[in-house]
Amino acid sequence: MTTNKSGRVTQREIAKIAGVSQATVSMVLNDRDYSNVRIPEATRARVLRAIEQTTYVADPAARRLAGLDNKILGIFTYEPALSAESMDFYGPLLNGIERAAERLSCDLLFFTASPLVDGSRSLFHKNTRFRLADGCLLLGQQMNGAELARLVAEGFPFVAVGRRDEPDVPYVGLDYLSLTGRIIRRLDELGHERAVYLHHGTIAPAAADRRSGIAQAASGLRLAVTSIDVSGLDRTAIARRVLDADVTAVITEDSFLAEAAAAAVRDAAPAAHFSYVALADVAGHFIGTAPLSGFDLRREAVASRALSLLQDIILTDPSDRDDLQKQVLLIGELVDGATLVEVRR
């Protein structure tokens, strides 16, 4: 077995062994007939035998440069995704992504080299490798709208995980609006007349959807919801704001905030009792020993669907991509839990 200077076997050497041209090797490998050409079975067999002898594998960089898909999907996360702290958010997403990638026989390129600027990564930088991927999945709480717009302008295939407001951005998100509405109506049914909504004051689309969901649903009900931005407040201040609000229910933007608020309130007023509801995935979250009430967002399904959509975009001819349904909202489910209870009179 001959090798070139880099120690790798190339099509040229396969061709020499099999006594054919390098182009023929390529055609056999791709199992394709160009311009009505058919390779005779005997030739094909000789080539395949040579390939087996030499343990040849095609160079993906060359394939890519020659214009072929590489079956590599990029995964861009705006924060580190594999740390213990981020597993709560990213774990189910990554799980869904891996399963979808296996199903599609795609490899995954994680852009961990992207420099951190203010704790958030940047997709476009000097040596970005994102173009090596056939397309890219974007994940994160704090996406950069300008980068999304640039990807749209360049026509690079990508899908954002989470609803976005920028025009023409493909995404797979969650229908926070209707889910939030359902839980607000549930609070009303259980007799709650006053509630607070604790949030972080962020402007992400999902955050806006939750606020809209509250406003839209509450407008037709007895229930009144007061919003409190907890950013910058310490636990004592949070507890005081909740207690001063004279409410029976505490709605929070995420599950950690529900746990933190409940702990703070318990310390400040052990006898007080509130219902707690998070407008977020509550799996694994508890108030004391009671499973927290809120949503099951089925993040595995969201991620899996996002990867499928990305693959669809990649495989669709650029001129036909406008016909694709590129903006998808999935429905999560309500989780009853044990912290959403009838109001005590």
Q: Could you say which of 34, 40, 42, 84 contacts a second copy (CB under 8 A)?
A: 84
**Residue type for position 249:** A
Is residue 269 within a helix (H) or strand (E), and if so which, with residue range? none
Is 154 near a second copy (CB under 8 A)? yes
Nearer to DNA, 10 or 275 (CB): 10
Window contacting a second copy (CB under 8 A); options: 148-156, 195-203, 319-327, 332-340: 148-156
CA distance 137 to 164: 13
CA distance 195 to 278: 13
| Strand, helix or coil for residue 326 | coil
Window contacting a second copy (CB under 8 A); options: 149-157, 208-216, 217-225, 249-257: 149-157
Backbone angles phi, psi at 264, to 5 degrees: -65, -45
Contact 297, 281 (CB under 8 A): yes
Which residue(s) pair with 139 in the sheet? 77
Q: Which does 205 bind (CB under 5 to 8 A by kind): a second copy, DNA, none?
A: none
Backbone angles phi, psi at 29, to 5 degrees: -60, -40
Site string for a second copy, 22-61 (x = CB under 8 A): ---------------------------------x-xxxxx
Q: Which residues bind DNA (CB under 7 A)?
A: 4, 6, 8, 10-12, 19-24, 26-27, 29-30, 32, 34-40, 43, 56, 58-59, 62-63, 65-68
Classify residue 4 by burial, with Cβ atoms within 10 Å: 0-12, 13-18, 19+: exposed
Q: In whole angstroms, how close is the CB of 80 to DNA at the nearest point?
A: 28
Give 4's Cβ-side CA count (13 Å radius): 10
Q: In whole angstroms, how close is the CB of 11 to DNA at the nearest point?
A: 3
Window contacting a second copy (CB under 8 A); options: 33-41, 64-72, 172-180, 191-199: 64-72
Q: Could you say which of 91, 191, 205, 291 contacts a second copy (CB under 8 A)?
A: 91
Window contacting a second copy (CB under 8 A); options: 121-129, 174-182, 225-233, 248-256: 121-129
Give 146's Cβ-side CA count (13 Å radius): 3
Which residues in the chain belong to E strands, given as ranges?
72-77, 107-110, 116-117, 120-121, 135-139, 158-161, 171-174, 194-199, 224-229, 249-252, 275-281, 286-287, 290-291, 293-296, 327-330, 333-335
Nearer to a second copy, 142 or 202 (CB): 142
Is 83 near a second copy (CB under 8 A)? yes
Q: Could you say which of 2, 33, 117, 124 contacts a second copy (CB under 8 A)?
A: 124
Q: Which does 112 bind (CB under 5 to 8 A by kind): a second copy, DNA, none?
A: a second copy
Nearer to a second copy, 73 or 328 (CB): 73
Q: Which does 129 bind (CB under 5 to 8 A by kind): a second copy, DNA, none?
A: a second copy
Nearer to a second copy, 32 or 150 (CB): 150
Q: Could you say which of 62, 117, 237, 315 contacts a second copy (CB under 8 A)?
A: 62
207-212-214 Cα angle (round to 5): 100
Classify residue 63 by burial, with Cβ atoms within 10 Å: 0-12, 13-18, 19+: middle
Site residues (vs a second copy, CB under 8 A): 7-8, 55, 57-62, 64-65, 70-72, 80-84, 87, 91-92, 94-95, 97-99, 101-102, 105-113, 115-116, 124, 126-129, 131-132, 150, 154-155
